[in-house]
Structure 1
Amino acid sequence: MTARLPDIALTEASPMPLPLDGVGMRGVELPIWPDDPGVRHPVHARADVEVDLPDPQVKGIHMSRLYRLLCDSAESQKLGAASLQKLLRAMVESHADCGSARARLVLSFELLCKRAALVTPGLHGWNAYPVRLEALWRDGSFTLDAQVRVTYASTCPCSAALSRQLIAQAFDARFATHKTMATADALAWLQDNATLATPHSQRSIADIQVRLPHDAPDLGLLRLIDLAEAALGTPAQGAVKRADEQAFARLNGQNLMYVEDAARRLQAALAGSFAVTRIDVRHLESLHPHDAFARVSNASAGEVFA
């Protein structure tokens, strides 16, 4: 019965013979199991998948072939560098009749991680980390890039210095005429007035993209996230009691950073682990109606991310 069904992609030629860089599907929903030591169950992902169509006479690609290959791979094995390379090669081979030599797959999903509170024993919260994997097979060459997003707090060094100046001036105005001062009086004044001015701080976002080695034993996504959070020093907290909030306030006060500082910290932390990196940092300003932004990359002209 299937043999009698029309297949226009095979029986008709393109009325406008032009090659196409990519044809495929976007937003394919499926479960995947990233090959990562910290990921213990499948996650919901959305996939963009495509192959090139260099033959100008071919009317269309075989969408169903790409879909079946994608789903079969996701359901039968964990997705890592080796399995993704195998999948992309199969996609190109499935389109030999179209002359395809290139396949691309982008997977977008979130990793939900349990994180301990800063100081309260037994208290945990959950942080979600958006992830984007991009695998490319082109003329027999394979590349795999991973991007993770980390949310953290940043406190402006300039604002902190201005705040300290105001507090010092107020302290001097209050006690300038005192030749001696009891420690208890100083402590009482600080308790009531040390927040005369507060530094501006804000939720901040780092998008970190790295090129993964072909022979990596696993994706290492959670290791990358941990490395980034350690470099930044003030990752967002899921669950807090007052003691944890106080500990977080201390961390922010001792960890002042401009957006430039954050980008440089991350680049220095990743330099020894990944050959190609790109970091985009954004501070969602509490002082301004716009955001502060910094980018740094060590990618050469031949290694530019897509």
Structure 2
Amino acid sequence: MNAQLPDVASQTHQSLHLDQVGMAGIPIRLQFLGQEVTARITVTVDLDAQQRGIHMSRLYLGLEQLLEHKELTPALLGKTLQKLLATQGISSEQLRLELSFEWLRKASALLSGHQGWQAYPIRLVARVTPQGYELLEETSLLYSSTCPCSSALSREALAEVFAEEFSSQPLLSAQEVTAWLKNNASLATPHSQRSQATLGWVSSLENLDTFSIAERLQAAEKVLGTAVQTAVKRPDEQAFALRNGANQMFCEDAARRLAGIFETCDQWLDAKIHVEHFESLHAHDAVASKWLTRRNTPAPWLKAI
């Protein structure tokens, strides 16, 4: 075979700088927080107007060499960005690397001690530009939300029925009231819905020693109070019902609670919160979002992802 194969990418072309060129959906096996995961990678670089195409094979082979079966750390991500960008020579000065995968964490029931796996979607977006290295960590969690308005209306309906039935009996014993409630307290029940909160935060990659996803998930589940359960027995189910009653919230309430967990956190520059309550009353959903920043304006690239 001819040793000098044609290089079509070097031929003449229409000159125009491109913001992102690369590959999407590359599968890879790696370690994340001690757990083996299968990730999908998107890697892109910008392209100088004078260059027709990028060196895609160099990016692909570099990913395999640098990340395959390795324990993913912020340091390794920074090294990967640097080495992959170097494969493109002077034609590129920015590189974006996105990894998406599912991470599992063992969760215990509220009372019985039974355990099961909770799955969390993880998205990491690392970027290097002439201004430096940045990392977006993003994850989502599921929780239950009971509507405060629906609860108030349910209580009002129950009170009206109680007053109507016992208006002629001014004196009731605790036993009589208890017996009535056991049979009638569910006359009107507030609606609850499975809900989802998505948290994302941008940090300077050079300043990170570890990922903070596990810590953020724990804080988010604590402040919401009603993270979905895995294996449960009846006492767990009752305890969860009590938590729903004690943590009634609109999507606005949930977004504000979640924003509070970033107040005392270090090492983040921008953060985003998006809450979705998948309505059981309506055919549409309720949503709320909040952007946080410690800069003059949030990173433009964060708003695009």
Q: TM-score, normalised by structure 2?
A: 0.93
TM-superposed CA distance for 1:141, in Å, is: 1.0
Q: Whole-Å Cα distance in 2 between the matches of residues 302 and 182 of structure 1? A: 61
Give the whole-Å Cα distance in 2 for the aligned partners of 1:166 and 1:216: 54
Structure 1 CA distance, aligned partners of 2:127 and 2:100? 15
Residue of structure 2 equivalent to 1:19:
17
Instruction: Quote how far apart the aligned CAs of 1:67 are.
Output: 0.6
CA contact (8 A) 2:279 2:286 kept: yes
- Equivalent residue in structure 1 for 2:177, among 186, 205, 214: 186
- 1-structure distance, mates of 2:299, 2:6: 43
Q: Which letter maps to 2:85?
A: V
Instruction: Compute the displacement of 1:182 (Å).
Output: 2.1
- Structure-2 separation of matches of 1:51 and 1:76: 24
Deviations 1:120-160 (A, max 9, x none): 03x10111100110001111511101110011000111110
Task: Check whether the contact 2:109–2:229 (CA below 8 A) recurs between aligned residues.
Answer: yes
Deviations 1:223-257 (CA, angstroms, capped at 9, x unpaired) = 11111111111001111111111111110011110
Q: Structure 2: how far apart are the matches of 1:267 and 1:207?
A: 11
User: Are residue 220 (structure 1) and residue 212 (structure 2) matched?
Assistant: yes
Residue 177 and residue 302 in structure 1: after superposition, are their counterparts in 2 closer, same or farther (change >3 A)? closer
Give the drift of 1:222: 1.0
Given the alignment of the two structures, is residue 47 of structure 1 paired with residue 41 of structure 2, yes or no?
Answer: yes
1:90 aligned onto 2:88: no
In structure 2, what is the Cα distance between the partners aligned to 1:2 and 1:227? Answer: 61
Alpha-carbon spacing, 1:253–1:2, altered in 2? closer, same or farther (3 Å): farther
Provide the aligned length of Structure 1 versus Structure 2: 297
Distance 1:245 1:302, change over 3 A: closer
CA distance in 1: counterparts of 2:290 and 2:231, whole angstroms: 32
Taking only aligned residues, the RMSD between alpha carbons, in angstroms, comes to 1.5
- Code of the residue aligned with 1:301 in structure 2: it is T
CA distance in 2, matches of 1:17, 1:275: 36
The 10-residue stretch of structure 1 (69-78 or 219-228) with the greater mean CA deviation from structure 2: 69-78
TM-score normalised by the chain length of structure 1: 0.93
CA contact (8 A) 1:51 1:91 kept: no
Q: Which residue of 2 aligns with 1:206?
A: 197
- Which string of whole-angstrom CA distances, capped at 9 and with x for unpartnered residues, describes residues 68-108 of structure 1? 111111126322222111111112211115x2000001110
Residue 71 of structure 1: aligned partner: 64
Of 270, 283, 288, 2:282 maps to 288
- Equivalent position SS for 2:19: strand
CA distance in 2, matches of 1:76, 1:213: 25
Partner SS state of residue 68, structure 2: helix
- How many Å separate the matches in 1 of 2:126 and 2:215? 20
Partner Cα separation in structure 2 for residue 59 and residue 275 of structure 1: 35
Stretch of structure 1 that moved more, 39-48 or 77-86: 77-86
